[in-house]
């Protein structure tokens, strides 16, 4: 059973556009939601994270929107750049089990 469902699987955006990746979860015990960025052949790198007591967090061009009642959260990349082309993973963590559950990833391609 997949704990975190991520969509879309792949995304093509023009340079300067907005990239939006969505995730949904079921377990209300999750209390921390990070996003990771992964380039080919590299390990995932933490991009931005949010706790469920806030509805939005912004860091530079990256914003997480969090909807606790819908059990959904999304990553918005403003002014997308070719250098943003990577695979993005959402994740959810519960301190009850000290484990992170990852989505299946979204491969983003930003065209120049």
Partner 1 sequence: DTGVSQDPRHKITKRGQNVTFRCDPISEHNRLYWYRQTLGQGPEFLTYFQNEAQLEKSRLLSDRFSAERPKGSFSTLEIQRTEQGDSAMYLCASSQTGNSGNTIYFGEGSWLTVV
Interface residue with partner 1, options 29, 46, 54, 78 (CB under 8 A):
46
Cβ of residue 3: shortest distance to partner 1, in angstroms?
A: 10
Question: Shortest Cβ distance from residue 76 to partner 1 (Å)?
Answer: 20
**Candidates 11-19, 41-49, 63-71, 75-83 — which segment interacts with partner 1 by CB under 8 A?**
41-49
Q: Cβ contacts of residue 74 below 8 Å, gap of 6+?
A: 20, 21, 22, 23, 64, 65
Query: What's the CA gap between 101 and 42, in Å, rounded?
Result: 19
């Amino acid at each position: 059973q997949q704990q975190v469902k991520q969509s879309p699987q792949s995304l093509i955006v023009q340079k300067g556009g907005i990239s939006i990746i969505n995730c949904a979860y079921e377990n209300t015990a999750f209390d921390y939601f990070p996003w990771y960025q992964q380039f080919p052949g590299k390990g995932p790198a933490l991009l931005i994270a949010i706790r469920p007591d806030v509805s939005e967090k912004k860091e530079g061009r990256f914003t997480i929107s969090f909807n606790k009642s819908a059990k959904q959260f999304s990553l918005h990349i403003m002014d997308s750049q070719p250098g943003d082309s990577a695979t993005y993973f959402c994740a959810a963590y519960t301190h009850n089990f000290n484990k992170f559950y990852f989505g299946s990833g979204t491969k983003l391609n930003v065209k120049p």
